[in-house]
Amino acid sequence: MDATYTEITIRLSLALVLGGAIGIEREYRAKEAGFRTHFLVALGSALFCLVSQFGFGVDLKDSSRVAAQVVSGIGFLGAGTIIFQKNVVRGLTTAAGLWVTAAIGLACGTGMYIAAVITTLMVLLGLEVLNLLIPQLGNTTMELSFSAPNRDSVKKLLRQIKQDGMEVHSYELKDRRTSKEEFLEVSMEIKAKRGFHTLRVLDYMNDFSDVTISTIE
């Protein structure tokens, strides 16, 4: 059975809209893969699915093989968004988002509109709505860079961070020297409860006058 141009347009358009909806949420969160990446993944997956069904004529024995290769290809794309830095893994949610976006695109390509829409709503519910309803759920990782005159000041700040319920995942110290002074440059990964306000970290500058915070990410 051949698909009409109207049906093809509907399937591709729905894949674009649903993939773009997930991409907008990722873009809002300033993630590595945003709107353009997600709508391209969904649109491409839907097109591959359409080609596998109608592009090779009636002699194609198993059209699901093309869809299976889409899943494998998305694995490589998702791996590119995962970053392992200083013992912290980043990008897992974005990689999973690309994977499920590809599945939504395949569902649109096969005409399973209801399944595609419901899955998109569930993804947005899990990523955004639950995060608003339960802001303290899960952990978040911050990168803190600061300078201190000596190691004792660094140890005091580390103790305060732990007292505030945060966990120092990793840190790096570098000795710096200028014509006027010697000091330490410190970079650390801090794991805190989601919803922890970065203003509390800035308060450390008041609590420790000899510590100068340069960046908080």
CA distances 78 to 83, 92, 127, Å, are: 11, 8, 17
Q: Running DSSP on this structure, what letter comes out for residue 88?
A: E
| pLDDT computed for residue 153 by the predictor | 78
The yes-or-no verdict on residue 169 having pLDDT over 60 is yes
Domain ranges of the chain: 5-133, 139-216
Topology (CATH level 3) of domain 139-216:
Alpha-Beta Plaits (3.30.70)
User: How far apart (Å, rounded) are the C-alpha atoms in residues 126 and 137?
Assistant: 12
Residue with the bigger pLDDT between 52 and 13: it is 13
Task: Calculate helix-pair angle for 113-124, 5-28, nearest 10 degrees.
Answer: 10
27 within 8 A of 84, measured Cβ to Cβ? no
The yes-or-no verdict on residue 94 having pLDDT over 90 is no
Report pTM: 0.67
Vertex 24, ends 20 and 28: CA angle to 5°? 170
Token pair for residue 157? 């700040």
Torsion region of 189: left, alpha or beta (phi above 0 gives left; psi -120 to 50 gives alpha): beta
The yes-or-no verdict on residue 215 having pLDDT over 70 is no
Task: Summarize the confidence of residues 165-187 as an average pLDDT.
Answer: 76
| pLDDT computed for residue 42 by the predictor | 92
Secondary structure of residue 82 in the 3-state scheme: coil
User: How far apart (Å, rounded) are the C-alpha atoms in residues 49 and 109?
Assistant: 5
Q: 176-187 as b/e, with b when 16 or more CB fall inside 10 Å? A: eeeeeeebbebb
Task: Summarize the confidence of residues 62-68 as an average pLDDT.
Answer: 71
User: How far apart (Å, rounded) are the C-alpha atoms in residues 154 and 168?
Assistant: 12
User: How far apart (Å, rounded) are the C-alpha atoms in residues 160 and 47?
Assistant: 55
Q: Running DSSP on this structure, what letter comes out for residue 58?
A: G
User: How far apart (Å, rounded) are the C-alpha atoms in residues 70 and 10?
Assistant: 20
Q: Residue 140 corresponds to which amino acid? A: T
Vertex 24, ends 67 and 121: CA angle to 5°? 65
Task: Calculate helix-pair angle for 35-54, 92-109, nearest 10 degrees.
Answer: 30
